Structure 1
Amino acid sequence: MTREALPRDRQITEDIPIWADRESNGHPEPEKTIGNTMYWNPKTWDTWYDGYKAGQRWRTNVDLSGNAGDLISLSEAARVLGMEPTSITKYLVSPPRHWPAPAEETTTAKGFVKRKYRRGDIWTYAERRERGGGRPAGTTRTDRRYPYDGDPRLDHARAAVKANPGTPAAQLAGRLARKHGGTAGTWSHIVRSARQHPED
């Protein structure tokens, strides 16, 4: 699917198979159609697509090899769960029900927090996880200093912005989406936060 960023909406320039199945998957209606080109609000579309992807992967093949007491990174936890690493990074700010707390947290010299999870806790989460997820009751996002604070994708966006200072945000977002997965629309928000907050 090719998408071009517009000032207020998103252009879809190719046919989307999932759009054809909108009655069963809840794909949003376009905000406007010009000729054969449909336009969606990027926030509406990205919100729907994130939910759609979560619904497709809510049950995955779990890797039960290794020792339950091993401490593993978030990306390794994603591998254990059979998920893409980029799809699990949002758990840092919006953990689903039954998601375990890190077993270990360390802060690097640059101030980045590195989290390790107990492999056995990830296996337990895999057994208990539910469709839809959601934050545990009583939790809020008030500890976030700015959008995507604590999200590892922000580090990728900051590095891309620093290496390509004159590149348009939409172009950087497209590159990051191709390299790390996810949607260009989501990456455009992350790039915006990276430009507004180049350092922690």
Structure 2
Amino acid sequence: MGADAPHLTPPEPTVITVDGRPVLSRADIHEQYGYATSMLERWWKDREDNGHPPVAHRIGNTLYWDAEEWKAWDHQRLNPETAGLANRDQLAARVGLTRAQFNRLWADRDANGHPQPVRTVGRAHTLYWDADQWAQWFERHRENQRAKAEPPPTIAAADDTGPDDEIGPADFARILGLKHPKWVSQSALTPPPGFPEPDAWDELPSGRRRPRWRRRRAQAYADTRHTITPTRTGRPVGSGQRAHPYQGDPRLTLARQVLADRPDAKTSELVEEALKQAGDKTTSARTWTLILKTAREHPEPTP
């Protein structure tokens, strides 16, 4: 090239705009952000779970997304907590809880009012909560727990309850010596042998119903519980005529709830949680593994 030849500069890349806003194709995103095309395709395929922005423009078979929307979504994906969200491990670490303690609060959400998650992210279906909303709820919950731990102000106040007063699942569970009320709530729907029918039901703001029993009936069940023929372990009687193993077994109802509460947990963790919530030492870990397998295969009750 001669000394007088003009100096040529590469042309600027063409920027496509829609209504004055720049849009990016998958190739543009790959070039600007460095993500593999296969990963971008997978994120788009899982958009119902991860909140991927919608298509803003199309030319032939090429899709385009609003550049600012995609940038904001990618930032939130990489930094979910900075966007005001936090998962269970991040929330637990903020207030000094273990993961197991957090999971117990979440499992008992009908009784304690635990907030619902606002987002589910990725193939692992990781749950995220509004961090500020959750922190406010936890402070109220902790104050309520402290108030309950304080002794009653007078002896007369302690005598206000009697055998005909109605109690909920939490008090029923304490009478039975259980740590959590989940087993009691499930037994109200699918009662084991000898379990008393509720005397009344509370209509909760969430739309669910909470059972209530007279204290004397709960105490009577606790006194005779171990003399009643227990539910058989393994496959229920007559299962050959049933649609699947454990159909109608209250343990299957509990297993479905445990799976719904902890969709990202390992089987061993789910078994441990089921054992804790059931409070039934007659069912082995191996049997719970089989029940959880049935719950995965049949997530909805069979008529």
Alignment TM-score, normalising by the size of structure 2: 0.30
Alignment TM-score, normalising by the size of structure 1: 0.42
Higher percent of residues as helix: 2
Q: Which has the higher contact order (CA 8 A, sep 6+)?
A: 1
Q: Which has the larger radius of gyration?
A: 2
